Amino acid sequence: MLTKRGSGLSRREFVQLAGGTLAALGMSGALTPKLARALTKAAAGRPKVVWLHFASDTGCTESLIKSDHPSAGELVLDILSVDYHESIMAAAGKQADEVLAKAVAGKDYICVVEGGIPTVPGHGMIGGREMLEIAKEVCGSAVAVVAIGSCAVDGGVPAAKPNPSRILGVDQALNMKGKVINLPCCPVNPEWLIGTVVYITTMGKVPELDGKGRPKMFYGRKIHDNCPRRTHFDGGRFVEQFGSKEEAEGYCLYKLGCKGPEAWSECPKSRWNSKESWCIEIGSPCLGCSENNWTDHFAPFYSKLADVALPYGDLTADKIGIGLAVATGAAIAGHAVLKAVKGKGDEAKKE
């Protein structure tokens, strides 16, 4: 048995957990022994996480609790040492302040931030202290800072116009460019958070990031390029109205406002709620929540994106739709002519 604080996992179970985690991340199974070694090592002194909550609806914590590769219990009890998390810890009030002070004293922790940071004095306080001040202090001493969910990345929904509290993402509020790993979406997919932490633990470095600070392994492809409805888009078959026959057929949601052509993330592969489903599969157009300023930038959500290019030439989806309608009309007309000619022929034969 592994010697692990509070864990009864056998080595075999532990390696299975490691393998399952890698598979869930789409990483090579060859890394399993390395991950198991890293996690075993971590088990003796698990990576410390301090989880801060600012302006948000706690949706990312809810999302994490739904994780099962590994489960939130395994993550919190076996892999990480979550030393401070306001939603799941028993301490409150002064006792919670003391827990936080103790957790950050060693400057040896990963800081996970959930929620945007109000920057107008008095608009976001915890225990009489400004959220901005707490963020500066705790993020400033962390080994790494991971901003989870759109609110922590760029303010998200709470920062939608007019944003009277001037809520900003961690990177913007603290000007920590290069130090923050951004995991947007509303909420974050738990696999991406677990994957990022597992990657840092296994590889001893930050995963490769894109220009917006997002790990490329989770935000490296457009939803549109990975979407199961893509053949309908390419074929010009669109849903024009909810409740229609075309919707029941699972046609492309572009004309109902799908932002998949401009949203970068692995949503079609990672999925949500134990991989049960995801937005487009349940019939909702993608709202583009993996992108910066998505609430203002992509509103109104059910209006279609302008001029989305198609793979074959400079045609837009609209033109293809019209083209198809004309082609279909021509085909119907042609079919009617043939039928009429054939009918006449049959009548002639009878005579």
User: Cβ closer to ligand SF4: 124 or 261?
Assistant: 261
Residues 6+ apart with CB under 8 A from 328: none
| Residue 272 C-beta: closest distance to ligand SF4, Å | 8
Q: Rule CB under 6 A: say whether 236 interacts with ligand SF4.
A: no
Cα–Cα distance, 257 to 24 (Å, whole number): 30
Q: At what angle do helices 11-25 and 32-44 cross, to 10 degrees?
A: 120
Quick note: the x/- pattern for ligand SF4 over 6-35, rule CB under 6 A, is ------------------------------
By CB under 6 A, residue 193 contacts ligand SF4 = no
Pick from 35, 135, 185, 197 the residue near ligand SF4 by CB under 6 A: 185
Q: Which of residues 276-295 bind ligand SF4 (CB under 6 A)?
A: 278-280, 286-290
- Regarding 257 and contact with ligand SF4 (CB under 6 A), the answer is no
Residue 230 interacts with ligand SF4 (CB under 6 A): yes or no = yes
Tell me the C-alpha distance between 243 and 256, whole Å.
12
Least separation in angstroms between residue 194's CB and ligand SF4 is: 17
In whole angstroms, the minimum distance from the beta carbon of 151 to ligand SF4 comes to 13
Nearest Cα to Cα of residue 113 among 137, 89, 97, 129:
137
Burial string for 78-111 (b: 16+ CB within 10 Å, else e) reads bbbbbbbbbeeeeeeeeebbebbeebbeeeebbb
Answer for which of 84, 267, 295, 320 binds ligand SF4 (CB under 6 A) is: 267
Per CB under 6 A, the segment of 50-58, 80-88, 196-204, 260-268 that binds ligand SF4 is 260-268
Give the C-alpha separation, 282 to 268, whole Å.
12
CB distance 118 to 55 below 8 Å: yes
Q: Which of 51, 84, 233, 298 binds ligand SF4 (CB under 6 A)?
A: 233
Give the per-residue SS3 of 237-271: CECCCCCCHHHHCCCECHHHCCCHHHCECCHHHHC
Contact residues: ligand SF4, CB under 6 A: 185, 223-224, 227, 229-230, 233, 252-254, 258, 260-261, 263, 265, 267, 278-280, 286-290
